[in-house]
Amino acid sequence: MGRKLRKDQDLIAYIFPVYSTAGMVLIIFSIAFQKPFIGYSPSTYLFLFLLALIPQLIGHTTFNWALKYLPASMVAIAILGEPVGSTILAYFILGESLTLWKVFGGISIFAGILIALKKKTLQS
């Protein structure tokens, strides 16, 4: 659906209603499950802000931008790299450990992405 809409729409015109709808659904679920919006520590609010800025506005907007220029299947394949990027960021920012399984999983995911993109490129 995003691929079809992005053919004719500007990026901002596309992401504004999509992200607004997602935000409204999040608010509705927070109210329905009685989750508070206030009372958290300043560092929690900072991390919530950073989550909205980096993965959402920069990361997902990049994927939505790419939908105009690439097949949706290629964008979907690229999204598989998200957990690897998150693991790397968690290592550097949060001091999370990198276990052998995490490294093996990351290498496997990237190998799968490269194989899929190479196969997709050869088909084109």
Q: Cα torsion for 52, 57, 59, 64, to the nearest 10°? A: 140
pLDDT score of 117: 82
Would you state the structure tokens that stand for residue 105, as one six-digit string?
Answer: 């999983």
Collapsing DSSP to helix, strand or coil, 67 comes out as coil
Name, in order, each residue with C-beta under 8 angstroms of 49's C-beta and a sequence gap of 6 or more: none
Confidence of residue 69 (pLDDT cuts 50, 70, 90): confident
pLDDT score of 124: 64
Residue 83 or residue 1, greater confidence: 83
Mean pLDDT of 95-115: 94
Task: Give 2-53 pLDDT, tens digit per residue.
Answer: 778 888 889 999 999 999 999 999 999 999 999 999 999 999 999 899 888 9
CA distance 44 to 50: 10
